[in-house]
Amino acid sequence: MNYPTRRRRRVRVLSRQHPNRQSLNPAAFGGRTNTRRAFGPKSRSMGKARLLIALAIAAFSFISYMGSKEFNPVTGESQHIGLAKHQEIAMGKQSAPQLIQQFGGLHPDPQLQDVVDRIGHKIVQSSRAAETEWAYDFHLLRDPQTVNAFALPGGQVFITYALFEQLRTEGELAGVLGHEIGHVVARHSTQRIAKENLRNGLTMAVILGTGVDPGAADMAGRLISMKYGREDELESDALGVDFMADAGYDPRALIGVMEVLAGAAGGERPPEFMSTHPSPENRVGMIHSAIEEKYPSGVPGGLTP
Ligand SMILES: [Zn+2]
């Protein structure tokens, strides 16, 4: 997904709000025009200066990335992040309106919005997700065609109406939301952004060294179209199982979600979810394992399906 008309403005706003990120953002260097003006092929000394700056940027990007390690108490992992939690929350909130607009706005039915909101918050409050300080917010998007769900950094969670209407039980909705809460808690997008910034910093160094500018990316667009790795998806499934079960939902409902998605794949509206997530068939086995780990002597009765 591209956002060509808003690209320049959005990048500038983000740079201003997150001064720490500025030096790692190619846009902060002034883009194509300024780069050419400052580092045009004028003289040998200019070329040498350019190379030194390129090396400095490469070194700075690498040191910033390596120095950004942070422990995640819920997943038990050490992650490269490079963003303070309040910055991460602000980044998600700032990108939310653009994402909502992209999917036709919020769904107009307040009762359906309420269902998504209530179940989302119930999962957070009853699980280890409550130990985190993210500003959780749950939204039903109007889009009747795109079968998908998203999480922005900091706690903004979205599900499209096209996916919502195909879910058969409250537990299945809890499965989708639990999975997305998993992405938030595990800070998957932010971790990817840190990696991307390292790559951008190194790319910037190459640009200065070679004079080639591949263009700067828009942060909101990047967040929305971001693909998590397979490991991230499986981790979110496992976290989703844990969170939804603690909130009183039968975690086997997440397998039901995979069936819905697999069914939709063969139908007239192949889910967008497929292009950003591993195939549902591949995930079912891992979800079974996560359920066994949660309940070694079997899933107890009385959970909401
Ligand atoms: Zn996911």
- Domain edge (last residue) among 208, 225, 242: 225
Cα(8) to ligand 1 centroid in Å equals: 28
Top-confidence residue, 215 or 120: 120
Report DSSP letters for 32-51, one per residue.
Answer: HHHHHHHH-S--HHHHHHHH
Domain assignment present for residue 125? The answer is: yes
Residues 194, 51 share a domain: yes
Domain assignment present for residue 99? The answer is: no
Cα(277) to ligand 1 centroid in Å equals: 6
Residues 167, 230 share a domain: yes
Domain assignment present for residue 40? The answer is: yes
pTM beyond 0.85: the answer is: no
Residues 163, 152 share a domain: yes
Domain assignment present for residue 92? The answer is: no
Cα(188) to ligand 1 centroid in Å equals: 9
Which of 72-76, 195-199, 287-291 shows the highest mean pLDDT?
Answer: 287-291
Residues 230, 219 share a domain: no
Three-class secondary structure of residue 20 per DSSP:
helix
- What residues sit around ligand 1, an ion, with C-beta below 5 angstroms? 233, 236
Domain assignment present for residue 299? The answer is: no
Domain assignment present for residue 78? The answer is: no
Top-confidence residue, 50 or 203: 50
Cα(126) to ligand 1 centroid in Å equals: 21
Cα(99) to ligand 1 centroid in Å equals: 16
The rounded distance, in Å, linking the Cα atoms of 210 and 50 is: 9
Confirm if 252 and 299 have CB atoms less than 8 A apart: yes
Name 139's Cβ contacts closer than 8 Å, sequence gap at least 6.
96, 100, 106, 113, 116, 156, 157, 158, 159
Cα(275) to ligand 1 centroid in Å equals: 11
Residues 139, 183 share a domain: yes
Residues 257, 286 share a domain: yes
Domain assignment present for residue 263? The answer is: yes
Residues 281, 139 share a domain: yes
Residues 195, 127 share a domain: no
- Looking at residue 253, its pLDDT comes to 98
Top-confidence residue, 51 or 204: 51
Cα(180) to ligand 1 centroid in Å equals: 6
Confirm if 159 and 141 have CB atoms less than 8 A apart: yes
Cα(179) to ligand 1 centroid in Å equals: 6
Q: Is the pLDDT of residue 118 over 80?
A: yes
The pLDDT tens digits of the residues spanning 70-106 come to: 889 888 888 877 678 898 899 899 999 999 999 999 9
Cα(50) to ligand 1 centroid in Å equals: 41
The pLDDT tens digits of the residues spanning 129-183 come to: 999 999 999 999 999 998 899 999 999 999 999 999 999 999 999 999 999 999 9
Structural domain total, the chain = 2
Cα(140) to ligand 1 centroid in Å equals: 16
Cα(170) to ligand 1 centroid in Å equals: 19
Domain assignment present for residue 76? The answer is: no
Taking alpha carbons only, the member of 57, 62, 167, 69 closest to residue 112 is 167
Cα(270) to ligand 1 centroid in Å equals: 17
Cα(48) to ligand 1 centroid in Å equals: 46
At position 66, the amino acid (one-letter code) is M
Residues 266, 171 share a domain: yes
Residues 129, 243 share a domain: yes
Residues 66, 124 share a domain: no
The pLDDT tens digits of the residues spanning 21-65 come to: 434 444 443 444 444 444 455 567 777 877 777 777 777 777 777
Q: Could you tell me if residue 187 is left (phi over 0), alpha (psi between -120 and 50 degrees) or otherwise beta?
A: left
Residues 111, 38 share a domain: no
Q: Is the pLDDT of residue 257 over 70?
A: yes
Q: In the 3-class helix/strand/coil scheme, how is 103-125 assigned residue by residue?
A: CCCECCCHHHHHHHHHHHHHHHH
Cα(276) to ligand 1 centroid in Å equals: 7
Cα(165) to ligand 1 centroid in Å equals: 19
User: Can you give the residue range of the structural domain that contains 165?
Assistant: 104-188+226-294
- Domain edge (last residue) among 206, 225, 244: 225
- Looking at residue 195, its pLDDT comes to 77
